[in-house]
Every structure is written in C-alpha cells, then in structure tokens.
Amino acid sequence: MDMEQTKPHDRSSARSSSPRSRVDTIQGAEGKAQIVSEQISRENQPHNAVVMQLQRQVANAYVLYTNYKHYHWNTYGPLFRDLHLLFDEFAEAVLKTSDGFAERIRMIGQDPVFSPIEVSETASVKSADRANYTMHDMVAEADRNLLVVIKEMREGVRIANEQDDPGTADLFTQAVQIHEKHEWWLRDILEKRDGLTV
C-alpha cells in the first residue's frame, strides 16, 4: 500500500523536474557541439595540409573542366563523335567533384577558392596548351593532367587519415576513382593497336 502511494508522487515530481533537466541537457549538448565545432575550425586553418589538399582539388577541377570543354569544342577526325562526347562527359563528371570538395572545405570551417586568379595560383594542373592542335596531343595532355591529380588525391587520403579526418579521406577516395577511370580510358585511346590512331 505504501509503495502504491509513493509511485504517483514519484511520477509527478519526475514530471515537474523533467522540462528543466531537458533544457540543461539541450544547452549542454549545444555547448559541447560549439566546442567541437571550434576545435575543428582551429584544426583546419587555411594552411592546414588537409585544407590545402582540398583547395587544390577545387582549383584542379575547374581547370580540368575548362580543358575538357576546350577539347570537346576542338575535336575533329575519324574519332570525332566518340571523343566529342567523351570529353563532355568528363567535363560534367569533374565539375560535380568540385562541388563536393568545396562543400567539404565549408564544412570544416574555410572558404573554397573561386576567383580565376585564386584557381590559377592554387591548381597544380595547367590550362590546355593552344599549341596542342592534334587530337593525340589533346588526349595525351588530358592524360598527363589526370596522373597529377590521381597522385595528389591518393596523397590527400593519406594526409586526411593521419589527421583523423575520415570524411575528407572518403571524399578523396570516391573522387580519385572517377579520375582513375577517365585516365584508363585516355590511356587506352593513346594505344596504337587499333589502326585509327597514329
């Protein structure tokens, strides 16, 4: 009987203290989240190796995109249709990767590069050389640029893992597979076994 009488009383006292404890819990959680956010931002200053790797790939993506559009517009010869469509497909794919890298930079507390001057200064790949007039030269140039990007992205995975940043490591891992596939296709196009290329 005594136990039955104390149960309702216990429930009502728990009910009356519950809203305040929830507010304390929420405020405590928000405070902890703020602390973690500040720590991440402090760790990811502009000259942090992870941030610099991400910025470089935003810039590289824009340069690769404009290069692919240049090749797309200037394709000619017996492989015209295939190469014209291929370079446009590559351009679209690389542009999508730029968004992922830029959003990751914002997520960890920095601003992505965007101006043509910043992109030019940050990118490790160069704009297409207008002197490369043959299709072979264009494909070879695209292939060389991809090898640079692939090497850097693999390095980005390593650096991100060293800094306990699995989100960035995963982003590099996904993006590098796109570029590896494109490089494979370009490498095969450069093979001289098909009787079409010279």
Architecture of the domain made up of 45-189:
Up-down Bundle (1.20)
How big is the CA angle at 133 (ends 140 and 98), to the nearest 5 degrees? Answer: 55
- How much of the chain exceeds pLDDT 70, in percent? 75
Tell me if 164 sits within 8 A of 48, measured CB to CB: no
Confidence of residue 47 (pLDDT cuts 50, 70, 90): confident
At 171 the pLDDT is 98
160 has pLDDT over 90: yes
The pLDDT of residue 132: 76
Is 83 exposed, middle or buried, given 0-12, 13-18 or 19+ CB atoms closer than 10 A?
A: buried
Per-residue pLDDT, 44: 65
Give residue 195's pLDDT band: very low, low, confident or very high (50, 70, 90). Answer: low
Tell me what pLDDT residue 11 has: 52
pLDDT at 129: 92
- For residue 143, with 0-12 CB atoms within 10 Å meaning exposed, 13-18 middle and 19 or more buried, which class applies? middle
Query: In whole numbers, what is the pLDDT of the chain averaged over residues?
Result: 86
Between residues 169 and 16, the one the model is more confident about: 169
Domain ranges across the chain: 1-43, 45-189
Kindly indicate the confidence band of residue 131, based on its pLDDT and cuts at 50, 70 and 90. Answer: confident
Q: What stretch of H or E contains 175? A: helix 166-189
Q: Greatest CA separation found in the chain? A: 99
Residues 27-44: pLDDT tens digits?
A: 677 767 666 655 555 566
